[in-house]
Structure 1
Amino acid sequence: MENTEKTCVPGGAALKNTGFGYTLSLIDGKYKMIIIYWLAENNVMRHNELKRSIGTISFKTLSVMLKELVADGLIIRKEYPQIPPKVEYSLSERGRSLIPLLNMMCDWGEKNHPSIALNKE
């Protein structure tokens, strides 16, 4: 029986030229999905709030990740002209469109994580 389902990485296609590859390029990295998660949970956060929430990220790494997410249009950086400077981050509409993907990842983890699955039996 032949499989006629459409795949997101057709045979012979370069991964980077697929929708799957593009999505991975935007969320690639240890912290990007975590940053998106925290912004989804809290709507608006400042740099130090994100750093405290994530815990294991350095100041520099967080700064780099935030700049990349802003450049990719996934989060919005709002700077207030005051002293000391105040900068807030929030998800853009494009960033919010990733939330269903995050939810599906969470559901998959709940169903497949060994310790969670054992506790449900």
Structure 2
Amino acid sequence: MSKVDTQVRHVTKPGANIFTELGFAADEARRYHDESQALVGQTLALKAQLMDELATWIEAHHLKQAEAAEILHVTRPRVSDVVNKKTAKFTIDTLVEMLARVGKPVRLVVG
């Protein structure tokens, strides 16, 4: 059996431009970085909007987190993560599925 090399050789610091570190020219790296940051921002905004809908539904139905968890088929800590807008812990798909479970199907509109 061969040994798998798992040694970490380089870690990109938070906020650093990975495209610069990959050797792209400065102007190109800056453009790629800006584009990727914009996409990340759009994704986070969409997740936050979906979480807002779920949190509003929970509040409107006067549910405790444990009750909401049972309806949503998730754990109570997952409901807490939704209510506290922990966007990194969810995919868009998961949030869309949760909304569908409570009768709030998501429709995509491209503007």
State whether TM-score is above 0.5.
no
Higher-helix-fraction structure:
2
Q: Which is higher, the Rg of structure 1 or of structure 2? A: 2
Higher-strand-fraction structure:
1
The TM-score with structure 1 as length reference comes to 0.31
The TM-score with structure 2 as length reference comes to 0.33
